[in-house]
Amino acid sequence: MTAIQRLPLDPTAHLRAEDIEAIGRELDAIRDAVLATRGEADAAYIRKVIDAQRKVELASRAVLLVSLFPPAWLAGTIGLSISKILENMEIGHNVMHGQWDWMRDPKIHSTTWEWDNASPSSMWKHSHNQIHHAYTNVLGKDNDLGYGIMRVDEDQRWSPFYLGQPLWNFLNACLFEYGIAAYDLEIGKYLKGRKDKAEFRQQVRDVMAKIKKQATRDYVLHPLLSGPSALSTLGANATANLVRNWWTHSVIMCGHFPTGIATFTKTSIEGETRGEWYLRQMLGAGNISGGKLLHLMTGNLSFQIEHHLYPDLPSNRYAEVAPKVREVFERYGLPYVTGSLPRQVGSAWKKVLRLSLPNDFARKAVGAVVKPLASTATRAEPERAAA
Amino acid sequence: MVRTLTLPVSHADAVSILERPAAAGRPLRHGLSRLGRALATPLVPTDFLDLLDPLASAVDLRGRVVEVRPETADAATLVIKPGRAWRGHVPGQYVRIGVDIDGVRRWRAYSLTSHLGRADGCIAITVKAIPDGIVSNYLVRRATPGLVVQLDQATGDFTLPARPPAHLLFITGGSGITPVMGMLRNAIDAMDDVVLLHSAPTAQDVIFAGELRALGGSGRLRLIERHTDVDGMLGASDLAELVDDIGFREVWACGPTGMLDMLDAAWTASGRTDVLHTERFRPAITAVGDGGTVTFTSSDVTVAADGGTPLLDIGEAAGVLMPSGCRMGICFGCVRPLRDGAVRDLRTGQVTEAIEGDGVLVQTCISAAAGPCSIDV
């Protein structure tokens, strides 16, 4: 996608300023309706998910104590993968967004939560909540657009480095938790000398300390506790981390990379109104269609559009607001991007592959080959074909 | 009854595990506990133990309601089995209790009314439902046995000395009887000469009426009941008339603000404030309206704030180092504890309140003062 402001057909061109503010008011009303009914059932939901996740983790780790026995390895690895995915997505991501802060439970609160991920929660909250959610899809501001290692928009300048981006994306998917930590460290910014050195060093120490704890748990202590099953438990834990990394990476790619999702220029957000902010969130995210299990396992990021409109509403309520939000899109003639998980993952990967080459490379390449060939055929002037 | 504190609460409960007596197994236990933490990271082992038994934690004190016993039409006693971390109490003290109501945890303080050393280890609080009181109405009318509540260690200095004075006078109003009931139940045998002057709207509104009247009837205490619907509110001029030897007595008083103000004035006038001990009700709800004085407690800065400017801006303008993030209510980078007072969510108009001892987390970027308030920054 090219920044919306530079598109020949701006999908918001038909909206007047008052329409945009009206959209804002309608979306506020949808939000208010949820807030008015937020209560005991929601609290019971998150406590149930947390309770279930911890029991699954406990049971899986217990089963893995005898992971030499293949069915135990399989069951434990599946259970631990599920537990890690739930912990990162439906619980960690959403708790750290402050979705459950209204409960006033210090154990389920954005300021106290620490997650099973290499990036310390304080760093992740900064880069995710304060940068990505505030500057969603603004070119040059929102580093989630390619994570600084990929080019996922025509308006991002091509360089030969991006030729390798299919590989970078694959590696990032395998090592996603470390990728997130590296990203949250803002290594690129540091290398360009735009980040405070002392702060950076402290953050590196924090990340390393956290990685050490995580690795000691998964790759040393639990394997050692398994005695003769040590190696197979280590393998199981590594597999669970890999599965979690691949799953979260895939889901997150679907949020902003698939075809049809808009990007925005830096200047377009100057003096942005509430309505304009909402409009950017509406067009800057895409959903994944599916059933309840998919929504749970994606941490309800399958409702990425609703999540970007209302990042602090409890995730269990996105399913209920989605039809109302979609109705607003339709009434105002705006594209609501959604598709199945395979389709959206495919679309995102296609973009990663396509944009690893310069814009319109395929067309130009074809043009460069076909045109001369055509002229060769008709005019038989081989010396010009080489030009 | 609900009350605020005259002294800051000491939150010493978190260190309870550090205070265990040294034992031979200490290095082993220390090692095991380190191993447990390393296995459970980023959680702690008690997070998993909580799944099995929320009362077993040595760190987080909780309790389970085992009985709800109606006392009057709008008051009930809740018998609570406290968790392992409970360190006991002195009669007259109160306990802060946290209850999840409509998904939101709300803390209130209630006097302990139970006998010490019950065989089942239970404690009891007695709660009077006040009009529009979210927690009191919930506890009196909706709480059922099995409910798990959050607890704080008992605290408060409204207690009797180890040897009670020879001549005692309790002056209580409404649910102000509750801390005194805790004292009477545990220490009446040590009291020689005790008068209880208790006010309630009617005879039916007297909490613990049967027990108090039995004590009065047996001559263990002199009970003077004042039914204010008929007799009128207790006034300074009534005191000497009702208790002729009032000047010889050391007084413990608990009840509504008006009554305690009257007693304070009377004993101050006679220069005998040393023999008057009072425990105050919770102050009236902070007026909700046009802003107020904001205190940033850790920074020791106090400024006037209007009702429409976010506390974040107020703090920054006053030079306070405020944590901040997106400044639009999304990222929660600016969340700080509200220690007391009231703030209004500028988006919804919703008012959040805290009383001393609380730490209700609020987003400063979208919250404005709704009366005097203190923020921990």
**Chain B residues within an 8 Å CB radius of A280:** none
To test the contact with chain A by mutation, choose from B41, B327, B343 the residue with the greatest count of A C-beta atoms within 10 A, namely: B41
User: Rounded CA gap, A162 and A351, in Å?
Assistant: 12
* Residue written as token pair 């970078």: A168
The confidence score (pLDDT) of residue B328 equals 67
User: Rounded CA gap, A85 and A156, in Å?
Assistant: 31
pLDDT in tens, chain B (377 residues): 444 333 333 333 333 334 444 455 788 889 999 999 999 999 999 999 999 999 999 889 999 999 999 999 999 999 999 999 999 999 999 898 999 999 988 878 899 999 998 999 999 999 999 998 899 999 999 999 999 999 989 988 899 999 999 999 999 999 999 999 999 999 999 999 999 999 999 999 999 999 999 999 999 999 999 999 999 999 999 999 999 999 999 999 999 988 998 999 999 999 999 999 998 765 433 344 679 999 999 877 899 999 888 999 898 778 677 787 667 676 687 899 999 999 998 888 889 999 888 889 999 988 999 999 999 98
**Chain B residues within an 8 Å CB radius of A58:** 48, 51
Q: How far, rounded to the nearest angstrom, does the alpha carbon of residue B119 sit from its chain's CA centroid?
A: 25
Residues of A with a Cβ under 8 Å from any B Cβ are 32, 35, 38-44, 51, 54-55, 58, 97-98, 101-105, 107, 109-111, 114-116, 125-126, 129-130, 133-134, 213-214, 216-217, 221-222, 225, 277, 311-312
Residue A349's contacts (CB-CB under 8 Å, 6 or more residues apart) are A166, A169, A253
Residue A252's contacts (CB-CB under 8 Å, 6 or more residues apart) are A301
Rg (CA), chain A: 23
The confidence score (pLDDT) of residue A375 equals 60
Is the Cβ–Cβ distance between A322 and A306 less than 8 Å?
A: yes
What is the CB neighbour count within 10 angstroms for residue A296?
18
* Residue written as token pair 């597999």: A239
Structure tokens at A81: 């993968």
A39/B103 Cβ within 8 A? yes
Residue B155 is given by DSSP the state B
What is the CB neighbour count within 10 angstroms for residue A245?
23
To test the contact with chain A by mutation, choose from B331, B345, B361, B376 the residue with the greatest count of A C-beta atoms within 10 A, namely: B331
Worst-scoring range by mean pLDDT, A45-59, A318-332, B11-25, B358-372? Answer: B11-25
**Chain B residues within an 8 Å CB radius of A222:** 39
Structure tokens at A43: 């609290």
Q: For residue B271, what are the CA distances in angstroms to B168, B244, B333? A: 18, 18, 52
Residue B203's contacts (CB-CB under 8 Å, 6 or more residues apart) are B209, B225, B227
Q: Which phi and psi (to 5°) does residue A208 adopt?
A: -65, -40
A38/B103 Cβ within 8 A? yes
Residue A265's contacts (CB-CB under 8 Å, 6 or more residues apart) are A3, A5, A6, A138, A139, A155
What is the CB neighbour count within 10 angstroms for residue A188?
15
The confidence score (pLDDT) of residue A372 equals 65
User: Rounded CA gap, B213 and B57, in Å?
Assistant: 41
B105/A104 Cβ within 8 A? yes
**Chain B residues within an 8 Å CB radius of A36:** none
The confidence score (pLDDT) of residue A374 equals 61
**Beta strands at B167-173 and B250-255: parallel, antiparallel or unpaired:** parallel
Q: Which phi and psi (to 5°) does residue B62 adopt?
A: -135, 170
* pLDDT class of A288 with cuts at 50, 70, 90: very high
Sequence length of chain B is 377
**Chain A residues within an 8 Å CB radius of B338:** none
Is the Cβ–Cβ distance between B351 and B343 less than 8 Å?
A: yes
Which among A64, A56, A84, A57 is positioned nearest to A225, based on CA atoms? A64
Which among A342, A28, A348, A62 is positioned nearest to A226, based on CA atoms? A62
The confidence score (pLDDT) of residue A380 equals 44
Nearest CB to A110: which of B41, B103, B332?
B332
B38/A221 Cβ within 8 A? yes
A102/B104 Cβ within 8 A? yes
User: Rounded CA gap, B150 and B107, in Å?
Assistant: 8
- The full set of domain ranges for chain A reads 4-354, 361-387
Amino acid at B373: C
B105/A103 Cβ within 8 A? yes
User: Rounded CA gap, A72 and A67, in Å?
Assistant: 5
Is the Cβ–Cβ distance between A141 and A201 less than 8 Å?
A: no
User: Rounded CA gap, A88 and A370, in Å?
Assistant: 50
Range list of β-strands (E), chain B = 62-72, 75-82, 94-101, 104-111, 123-128, 148-151, 167-173, 193-200, 222-227, 250-255, 276-280, 292-296, 301-305, 335-345, 351-354, 360-363, 367-375
Long-range contacts of A23-29 (CB under 8 A, 24+ apart): A23/A275, A23/A278, A23/A279, A23/A282, A23/A328, A23/A332, A24/A273, A24/A274, A24/A275, A24/A276, A24/A277, A24/A278, A24/A279, A25/A275, A26/A328, A27/A278, A27/A309, A27/A325, A27/A328, A28/A274
User: Rounded CA gap, A86 and A60, in Å?
Assistant: 14
- Kindly report, residue by residue over A79-105, the tens digit of the pLDDT: 999 999 999 999 999 999 989 988 978
Q: Across chain A, how many H-helices and E-strands are there?
A: 18, 2
pTM: 0.85
The confidence score (pLDDT) of residue A7 equals 81
The CA distance from B31 to the nearest CA of chain A, in Å, is 14
Q: Give the torsion sign (CA, B210, B213, B219, B222).
A: positive
Q: How far, rounded to the nearest angstrom, does the alpha carbon of residue B204 sit from its chain's CA centroid?
A: 25
A40/B332 Cβ within 8 A? no
The CA distance from A357 to the nearest CA of chain B, in Å, is 35
User: Rounded CA gap, A278 and A305, in Å?
Assistant: 10
Which among A68, A77, A76, A117 is positioned nearest to A96, based on CA atoms? A117
Q: Give the torsion sign (CA, A7, A8, A14, A18).
A: positive
What torsion, rounded to 10 degrees, do the Cα atoms B34, B36, B38, B41 define? -130
Structure tokens at B122: 């239970």
Nearest CB to A104: which of B40, B332, B361?
B361
Q: Give the torsion sign (CA, B365, B367, B372, B373).
A: negative
A2 versus A222: which is more confidently predicted?
A222
The confidence score (pLDDT) of residue B20 equals 47
Query: What structural domains and CATH numbers belong to chain B?
Result: 13-151 (2.40.30.10), 167-280 (3.40.50.80), 292-375 (3.10.20.30)
B106/A35 Cβ within 8 A? no
Q: Which phi and psi (to 5°) does residue B263 adopt?
A: -65, -45
Q: How far, rounded to the nearest angstrom, does the alpha carbon of residue B276 sit from its chain's CA centroid?
A: 21
Long-range contacts of A342-349 (CB under 8 A, 24+ apart): A344/A253, A344/A254, A344/A258, A344/A286, A344/A288, A345/A250, A345/A253, A345/A254, A347/A257, A347/A258, A347/A259, A348/A253, A348/A254, A348/A257, A348/A258, A349/A166, A349/A169, A349/A253
